[in-house]
Every structure is written in structure tokens, then in C-alpha cells.
Amino acid sequence: MNVVLLGFLASLAAGSMTAVGALPVLLGRNVSAPAADALLGFAAGVMMSASFFSLILPGLEAATPDYGETGAAFVAAAGIAIGAGFVALLNHTIPHEHFGGGREGVGAAKLAKIWLFVIAIVIHNFPEGMAVGVGFGGGNIENGLPLAIGIGLQNAPEGLAVAIALLANGYSRRMSVMTAAATGLIEPVGGVLGVLAVSVSEAMLPWGMTFAAGAMLYIISHEIIPETHARGNQNVATTGFLGGLILMMLLDVIFG
């Protein structure tokens, strides 16, 4: 199968898990705050593990033939920094609102709250889709598959958390679920851009992998972990984080 199509379909499947995760809200199921924070911690653990085992380490391996071991380390460091800086720039310039941290970005005070929530999750999901696309862009399905599975797994609790937060802010169950589901649709866009970038030139592969890793690491530190600790549920959030990290590591070993 064409790698661009494969990257698109894999990132679409991963993004669709956001809607799956939000379904309990539509069915009237309530999730406690500790459970929600544990699930978000799980998502952060999956992203952390995917960043290192499925992106940074393969990125170092891909860069070594051209740059040597030391040069590959500098390429990875630069890619991570650029990826994190890119998301930081989006975070600073695009108006959005975090569930616990309030409004951020230029012109945030002028937009309706629901759109600020949507934009925040779109900023969050785009690098995840890009990571899946980059994973398949190198032509190695064994590298892309655990990424797609891992990102899909962590999208489910994210979708649930988004729907719960919207419901708590006065939106209907249907609107909360539909909005959460819509935020996952940005992932195939990122997936196509990621797979195109690294399939055009093999030299872009280590840069694309480490860029995607840096973007996700920024989101973990800046967005998810503070959110999970904001309500005093650090212990269950950390347990979820470790569970997600271990599961993603096992997936990477089993499928990779």
C-alpha cells in the first residue's frame, strides 16, 4: 500500500479513538475526577514512551549513517527543540483555553469558550497525527504500527476528558461528544503532512521523527501533567502515567 495512504489511514484510525473515548458521556455515564486524571496520566505515559521508543531512538538510528553517533545526537537534540518550539509558538499565538489553566494566546478573550476548547485540543492532536505519519513515512510498518496503536489508545481517555470538561462547562451531552470527536479529525491532516515530509526525502526521516517527539514532549509537560495534578489526584495520575508508559514500551517491543 502507498505509504501516504497508509499514514493517512493509520492517523485517521488513531484520531477516531477520540470519538470512541467520548461515547460514555453520550450514554450518560459519569466519570469521577480521580478516574479522569488517571486516564489522562495514562495518555501522557503512552505519549512519553512513544516519543522515546518509537521516535527518538529510531531517529537516532536513522541519522547515524549520515552524521555519525555524535552528529546523530545533535540532530535529535535539534529536532526535539524545533518540535517543542513549534508547539510553544502555536500555544502562544493561537487563542485557546485549557480546562484548568484558563485562556491563552492572542485574542483569546474575543472567542466563544467552546471554540477555545476545540482549538486547544487541535493544537494538542496535530503533532500526534504527525508522529503517526512520520512513523509510516520511512516505509517501515513495524515502526509505524506501535505508534498508531499507542496514539489511538491514548486518544480514548483524551476524548473522554474533553467531553467531560465540556459537559461540566454547560454543554449538552451530544455537543460535548460531537466536539470531542471533531478534535480527532486534525490527526489525519498531521499524518499526511508527516508522511509526505519524510517520504519526499529519506534525509528528513530523523528530523521528522525527533520533531514529532519534541512536539509531544512539550504537550506532556505543558498541558497534560499540570492538568492531571491540578485537582490533587497526583498519585492516581502518576500510576496511570506509569501504566501508559509501560504498555507503550511493550507494544513497541512486541510489534517492532
What digits encode the pLDDT tens for the residues 50-83?
899 888 998 999 899 999 999 999 999 999 999 9
Nearest alpha carbon to residue 153 among 132, 173, 133: 132
pLDDT at 155 > cutoff 50 = yes
Q: Report residue 108's pLDDT band, with 50, 70 and 90 as the boundaries.
A: very low
- Confidence at residue 256, expressed as pLDDT on a 0 to 100 scale: 64
Burial class (CB in 10 A: 0-12, 13-18, 19+), 255: middle
In a 3-state reduction of DSSP, which class is residue 102? strand
* Separation CA 79–CA 150 (nearest Å): 21
Q: 32-55 pLDDT, tens per residue? A: 888 888 988 988 898 899 899 888
pLDDT at 239 > cutoff 90 = yes
Task: Name the grid cell of 253.
Answer: 517491543
- Confidence at residue 110, expressed as pLDDT on a 0 to 100 scale: 45
Q: What percent of the chain has pLDDT over 90?
A: 25
> Does 101 or 149 have the greater pLDDT score?
149
> Does 194 or 119 have the greater pLDDT score?
194
Output the average pLDDT for the chain.
83
- Confidence at residue 128, expressed as pLDDT on a 0 to 100 scale: 84
- Confidence at residue 238, expressed as pLDDT on a 0 to 100 scale: 96
* Separation CA 176–CA 165 (nearest Å): 8
Burial class (CB in 10 A: 0-12, 13-18, 19+), 68: exposed
User: Does residue 156 contact residue 13 with C-beta atoms inside 8 Å?
Assistant: no
Q: Report residue 101's pLDDT band, with 50, 70 and 90 as the boundaries.
A: low
- pTM for the model: 0.79
* Separation CA 77–CA 119 (nearest Å): 28
> Does 210 or 223 have the greater pLDDT score?
210
- Confidence at residue 73, expressed as pLDDT on a 0 to 100 scale: 97
* Domain containing residue 195: 3-255
Domain count, the chain: 1
- Confidence at residue 97, expressed as pLDDT on a 0 to 100 scale: 57
DSSP codes of every residue in 127-190 = HHHHHHHHHHHTS-HHHHHHHHHHHHHHHHHHHHHHHHHHHHTT--HHHHHHHHHHHTTHHHHH
